[in-house]
Amino acid sequence: MKLIVISHPGGSPGAPPGSLRDEAGLINKLFENGLQILHLRKPDSTREQVKKLLSEIDQKYHSRISLHQYHCLAEEFGIFRLHFTEKERAATSWDDFQMMRKRGFTLSTSIHDIEQLDTLSSCFSYAFFGPVFDSISKKGYHGVVNNNFKLTKKPVNLIALGGIGTSNLENIQAMNFDGAAILGALWEQPEDAVINFRRLSQLLVPESSAGRSGLKPGDGDMVALSPSPRLKPGIDERRADADGYRSGYHDICGPGCTSPGGDDRVHIPNPQDQQSQRPNPRFRPGAHNMRAPSQEPQNTAYGFSQSKDLDTIAKLHFISSQKSGLSHLQSIQKALDAGCKWIQLRVKNQSEEDVLPLALKAKKLCDGYNAKLIINDFPLIAKEVRAYGLHLGLSDMKIPQARKIVGNEMIVGGTANTFEDIILRINEGADYVGLGPYRFTTTKQNLSPILGLEGYQKLMDRLAKAGHHTPIIAIGGIVPDDIATLKNTGVHGVAMSSALLQSADIKETVSKIKSTLC
């Protein structure tokens, strides 16, 4: 169950007397103590006051902040979470929400009537509902449910709000809420905010399968909604991708801004400008509806609907390798230096404890280059390091099971070798399919039957005839000279490892490959 903190309602730095002293320092300490999401709500603060507060919050925590006001600051501070009040939600078009979600924003909203749940767009990842109990911060603001209340259906995750503290937090989980938002319980006594947050965190009841030690992909019917005890929270989740995000914008003034048409606009990349298309940190095709129902083919075998936004998946994937005197991290460094933006950390025959430190370092490397990190095989690690995606082999955990760990917002790809494998992956809700091998490769053990160019052509023809458009990534022994002919079969892109690392000029090779795939 999520524990979300809503910021102190008072002013920010530079505000009149009575404001919270050293608010940024307190917020940093909350993050240091395991806070995952902070909703920054400052209804009485100016844009400059909010901006100053954000500048004083440690930069590594910005991506864990959701803005309630001044959404226009999101780009400047690498923030990808936006909250909309009921009024703002009504004033914003469905298309605008679609575009914001597509460009990487995690959206949330508020409701005060449980019947409104059915009216919420699937663009929202979660919603606040309350007041559940009598409000602590707003005297006379009474709770709207009784102790026997229990949610039976939730089109989106629902976060309880209002009057929540140590005396009733456990009731929230019994009511079947997905989380709790804390306000008055922390800020009534700001000097004890960190201590009270720790107490509240300790009261959270773990999900049935979360918290078991030694969890590995494929361990029974695991439904872990939180990391294994070995995986420590608080990892930096910076996700801003400067390439493409700052170009090709058209202006849509967001409700979180104050001057329509002025400097307070939310900048959303124009989907018609192909230069602005980029992989992004939060929009994930496959398990989420990002199109109008009339436009989106439905596949309900596993309860997922398949999106067809191909531009979300990069066309050149680099797979880490450990051979020829190079470590996994050294191979990743070479690929990043050469211009690769999609990096898969693929470590085999090592324990979770051994892979986690590598994943943390790989994430830091990728963040430094605005590149996307994909974790192979380990969903708990992918969740803990806040990777962009997870890749699963045919013998690994099933995609729907992995979704229960990493959530619906993370990219999840799957391996396939046959037409039946591809259809299975599509039905599971895979965001892309790694199809191979093209030819023999020493990178992978237990190699599946080799497809060759003819095999790819037959499979791509069958997929086209069946009306499937999930991105297909060719993999396995591919060299630069293969790419033009492979592209002609209809594949979306290629995954490479040794052929890149062994090239005489890896940077030039990457540049040529990107040009061919473009």
Binding-site residue numbers are 344-348, 376-377, 396, 415, 441-444, 477
Q: Give residue for tokens 């608010």.
A: 23
In the three-class reduction of DSSP (H, G, I as helix; E, B as strand; rest coil), residue 169 is classed as helix
**What DSSP letter does each residue of 238-252 carry, written as one string?**
----HHHHTSSEEEE
Report which DSSP code applies to 163. Answer: S
Report which DSSP code applies to 373. Answer: E
For residues 215 and 45, is the Cβ–Cβ distance under 8 A?
Answer: no
Distance CA 343, CA 336 (A): 8
In the three-class reduction of DSSP (H, G, I as helix; E, B as strand; rest coil), residue 81 is classed as strand
Distance CA 5, CA 201 (A): 11
For residues 60 and 28, is the Cβ–Cβ distance under 8 A?
Answer: no
Partners of 4 in the β-ladder: 37, 181
In sign, the C-alpha dihedral spanning 59, 62, 67, 70 is: positive
Which amino acid, one-letter code, is at 417?
N
Distance CA 347, CA 58 (A): 32
User: Which is nearest to 224 in space by CA: 213, 232, 235?
Assistant: 213
CB environment 429-454: b (16+ within 10 A), e (fewer): bbbbbbbbbbeebebbeebbeebeee
- 3-state DSSP of 42-55: CCCCCHHHHHHHHH
Could you tell me where the DSSP H helices lie in 369-418?
Answer: 379-384, 399-406
Partners of 124 in the β-ladder: 107
In the three-class reduction of DSSP (H, G, I as helix; E, B as strand; rest coil), residue 448 is classed as coil
As annotated, the binding site for Mg(2+) includes 377, 396
For residues 331 and 500, is the Cβ–Cβ distance under 8 A?
Answer: no
